[in-house]
Amino acid sequence: MRPVETPDGQRHLLLSQSEGTARLRDPATGEERTVDVDVLEPVGDGALSVAAEGVPEPVRRVVTAAHDERALGVLVTLVDSGPTAVVDLLSYAGLCESDFNGLFAELRAAGLVTTCEVAGERGYEATETAEEAVALLRDDA
């Protein structure tokens, strides 16, 4: 598979080519179609990166940032409960402070949580990206 772009700017995966035609797969739908090979332009990104583009961006961000169920659970909790004080999150997560800080540093860097104030205490809340991702994941479940 090689990544290519069609004249309309859409990125696809080139599956095969012969006699002037090319068989493409749309990463968003998985559908395949045949086009003239002359209209295709190579794309510099890797085939697997283009394949991943078929997953909505907020979901890709959660999948790459939430490395285990605990991290995903933190995001779901913040989406469902809203802004939550750090002390409460620490008790929910069952993590030591160092692991907790590392987890939230990753989630902040991914743009999935942001700091806030809850009843005068430091806390975290889910971003719109996290809310959208959790909604998409739930819809597909």
Query: Stretch 4-32: mean pLDDT, rounded?
Result: 93
Are 123 and 77 in a shared domain?
Answer: yes
Do 64 and 125 share a domain, yes or no?
Answer: yes
Q: What is the pLDDT of residue 66?
A: 92
pLDDT score of 141 more than 60: no
Residues 78 and 128 occupy one common structural domain = yes
Res. 140: pLDDT tops 80: no
Q: How many domains does the chain have?
A: 2
Q: Quick one: 95 and 119 in the same domain?
A: yes
User: Which pLDDT score is estimated for 137?
Assistant: 93
Same domain for 71 and 106: yes
* Residue 97 belongs to domain spanning: 57-140
* pLDDT one-digit tens code per residue, 20-52: 999 999 998 999 999 999 999 999 888 999 999
Give yes or no: residues 98 and 63 share one domain.
yes
CATH number at residue 21: 2.30.30
Asked if residue 76 and residue 38 are part of one domain, the reply reads no
* Claim to verify: residue 22 and residue 67 sit in the same structural domain: no
Q: What is the pLDDT of residues 73-131, one digit of tens each?
A: 999 999 999 999 999 999 888 888 899 999 999 999 999 999 999 999 999 999 999 99
Is residue 41 located within the same domain as residue 20? Answer: yes
Q: Please work out, in degrees rounded to the nearest 5, the angle formed at the alpha carbon of residue 77 by the alpha carbons of 76 and 82.
A: 110
Distances in Å between the Cα of 54 and the Cα atoms of 25, 31, 40, 42, 48 are 10, 11, 19, 18, 10
